[in-house]
A and B are shown apart, each in its own frame.
Chain A
């Protein structure tokens, strides 16, 4: 495709592919913990980081990483305390984040609406070479930690108390999740924008689990869907001149709809059988013991 003869298009594609791979790999743990919307909230907070960067004439990506990481750790601390007021505390943090961001961007020298839109909805084609390097390095870090710690992250997302009784460093792993969420949000900000970041973490997972039976399979399929939607989204958006971020998300949602319909129309496989039928009355037990 001659579109990709342009260097900026190649950079855009590369950035999108990395996000398409990393965002669902992280998002699956968030979905499993019923924190699907956390990425959205952290995105709000990241906007304050963008404002700080523009105001101080610093790279907005760097300040956004720092501010959203602080925000994510704050959210994690609220969650750990498990108070019912946590929900309200999160709302205050998120709206404070977006309002602070809009005000700070307005105060900066470059306070055009276009500038704000670029961060809210993404702007692939203005992605610089330096941006792509930052995206690639941070994206690879997120991906490696999500894959390398999968058993442990699965355990804490599946049953946090059991993970604690297993002696896992639950607090450290939770903070790792918080910081990697913030990093993913920030690097995805250039591709899909802060308002659609969460979609790339959640929609491919939601689509994958329509057809999968296990966690590992869901993760793999979600990453494939994420990458394909990202690649196709960049190409389509260039062709029909739409915002790439929104196009990627629409494509991912289309995959979800197709897979959900496939599942609904497919004859059901075996459903839960009563335990009586599954457990033979005299089942043989052989407990093996530590050697």
Chain B
């Protein structure tokens, strides 16, 4: 079984090509990071996988089912980039996380003990159990990000899809977040995440896909930190034109484009 399979995907918005001929496969238990500069199309790639952006060409399969026929949404936990700007009506942490149960429970059934237990467990996973009754607007950015992760975990998914989960999140929250993902993976979960820089997530990542200018620029192991690139025996070449960048994901090829193996 392949959890996510993207074959020759092309996406364009209002005539502007955002992704062209992108292929990608994520196997069960893998942690795959999609990296790339801002505007490279990396977020569009996962939004297309989730059916949030229209696919112009190619095919997408989730759990071996074509996307348009896919109905087992409870198997997927989606963590968007950030919580929508605080709207007028207050909502508590517990209420937001409880929406993560809807995919499993359906819209016609009221919440049951199992739903409440799953919400509580998800809040404990992100260390926010004591904030359950607090309005989300009173939480810090990093805490709100953890609420979104708890919402995804509450549905007990098999696949987590995260869009820049650590962007703008303080270091302590990033560490805690990496631990949460690690536990999720330890239980057999599959993770596909988009990141600008990996930070504390780096040890978790099995495989890296770099999107550059709407194409896959590199696919394979996580690029080594910049300093090691010059070492003999280094398998892939990065045509750095600019001076070495500090974060591995600042990587942006400027010379020959590498193709996916």
Contact = CB atoms under 8 A, between A and B. Distances in A.
Interface of A: 28, 31-34, 36, 149, 151-152, 154-155, 157-159, 161-169, 173, 205-206, 209, 212-216, 218, 270-276, 278-281, 283-290
Interface string B116-136: 001001001101100101110
A154 B96 CA distance: 9
Interface string B134-160: 110111111100100001010110100
B85 to A, nearest CB: 9
A233 B98 CA distance: 37
B81 to A, nearest CB: 10
B71 interface: yes
Contacts of B51: 164-165
A273 B107 contact: no
A252 B102 CA distance: 34
A154 B98 CA distance: 10
B153 A287 contact: yes
Contact of A158 (B84, B139, B170, B173): B84
B99 A32 contact: no
A32 B87 contact: yes
A149 B151 contact: no
B37 interface: no
B138 A218 contact: no
A273 B47 CA distance: 32
Contacts of A164: 50-52
Given A214-B135, A275-B170, 9 more contacts: A34-B88, A149-B107, A159-B84, A213-B133, A275-B139, A278-B127, A279-B142, A281-B175, A290-B158
B156 A289 contact: yes
Interface of B: 50-52, 71-74, 76, 78, 80, 83-84, 87-92, 94-96, 98-100, 102-103, 107, 111, 118, 121, 124-125, 127-128, 131, 133-135, 137-143, 146, 151, 153, 155-156, 158, 169-170, 172-173, 175-176, 179-180, 183-184, 186-189
Given A158-B91, A205-B89, A285-B125, A165 B156 contact: no
A167 B71 contact: yes
Contacts of B128: 278
Given A154-B95, A166-B99, A272-B139, A209 B90 contact: yes
Instruction: Identify whether the interface residues of A are mostly helix, strand, loop, or mixed.
Output: loop
A274 B140 contact: yes
B170 A276 contact: yes
B131 A286 contact: no
Nearest to B152: A162
Nearest to A172: B107
Contact of B80 (A28, A154, A161, A283): A161
A275 B140 contact: yes
A83 B172 CA distance: 40
A287 B112 CA distance: 20
B248 to A, nearest CB: 25
A219 to B, nearest CB: 9
Given A166-B103, A218-B89, A278 B187 contact: no
A161 B118 CA distance: 22
B90 A151 contact: no
A36 B103 CA distance: 28
A145 to B, nearest CB: 11
A214 B95 contact: yes
A213 B90 contact: yes
A278 B134 CA distance: 13
A226 B188 CA distance: 50
Nearest to B121: A288
Contact of B142 (A270, A271, A275): A275
Contacts of B173: 275-276, 279
A262 to B, nearest CB: 16
A165 B84 CA distance: 15
A-B residue pairs, 4 tightest by C-beta:
A167-B73, A275-B142, A214-B92, A152-B107
Given A275-B143, A287-B184, A162 B78 contact: yes
Contacts of A213: 90, 92, 133-135
Contact of A272 (B73, B91, B138, B183): B138
A42 B155 CA distance: 37
B89 A279 contact: no
Given A275-B172, A287-B125, A169 B107 contact: yes
A286 B187 CA distance: 10
A218 B176 contact: no
A72 to B, nearest CB: 21
Nearest to B145: A275
Given A151-B98, A151-B107, A158-B99, A209 B74 contact: no
A215 B156 contact: no
Contacts of B118: 288
Contacts of B84: 158-159
Contact of B76 (A165, A214, A218, A290): A165
